[in-house]
Amino acid sequence: MIFMERIRRILDGLYLASGIAAAFCLIAILFLIVMQMLARWTGEMFPGAPNYAGYAMAAASFLAFANALNHGAHIRVSIVLNAVSPFWNRIINTACFMVGVAVAWYFVYYATRFTYWSWKFHEVSQGQDATALWIPQSAMVVGAIILAIALTDNLLHLLLRGEDRVVRSDLGSASE
């Protein structure tokens, strides 16, 4: 039991750390945009700033997925889930998590291969920054892996305990 509690703390810490990293990426986007504005106002150039902001946006999106999933921020058809019996609710949730797990790990596999080949062939962006593309792609892969782990975690929790770990919000509940 202590082993499972330790794993639970590690996974929850991973999801939180991923969400915090996503927040730092958003702060980086703000910083890049402000720096680009200041550069324009002073007549200077900040080459590659839009590309770096785009990389940070992709990283923020993928790194935030797992944390958002566990906090109920992903789109779910809760109107359907609230309208059906607990038995059908569990069946629908299980089917959805199974599809989500399969798609997430499929994406991880191909995104990892894509990133590997970008690294192997020394691909760089076509903008002025000429960034090695495997660097921003790696952030995407890390976020995708963490999302796949979170989906798998939720599926296993649902199968073993009868409920997922997604925090429920009051929005869309049948009691209103």
Instruction: Kindly state whether residue 66 falls inside one of the protein's structural domains.
Output: yes
> What pTM was computed for the model?
0.85
Instruction: Kindly state whether residue 17 falls inside one of the protein's structural domains.
Output: yes
Instruction: Kindly state whether residue 61 falls inside one of the protein's structural domains.
Output: yes
Output the pLDDT for position 175: 42
Instruction: Kindly state whether residue 99 falls inside one of the protein's structural domains.
Output: yes
Instruction: Kindly state whether residue 175 falls inside one of the protein's structural domains.
Output: no
- For 9, the 3-state DSSP assignment is helix
Residue whose token pair is 């996503």: 22
Taking the C-alpha atoms of residue 136 and residue 54, their distance in angstroms, rounded to an integer, is 9
Q: Per residue in 71-94, pLDDT tens?
A: 877 777 677 878 888 899 889 989
Instruction: Kindly state whether residue 140 falls inside one of the protein's structural domains.
Output: yes
Of all residues in the chain, what percent carry a pLDDT higher than 90?
Answer: 63
Domain count across the chain: 1
- In which domain, by residue range, is 33 found? 2-161
Instruction: Kindly state whether residue 32 falls inside one of the protein's structural domains.
Output: yes
Give the mean pLDDT per block of 10 residues along the chain (176 residues).
89 95 96 93 88 92 92 75 86 93 97 96 86 92 96 94 75 44
Taking the C-alpha atoms of residue 145 and residue 18, their distance in angstroms, rounded to an integer, is 11
Q: Per residue in 90-111, pLDDT tens?
A: 899 899 999 999 999 999 999 9
Instruction: Kindly state whether residue 168 falls inside one of the protein's structural domains.
Output: no
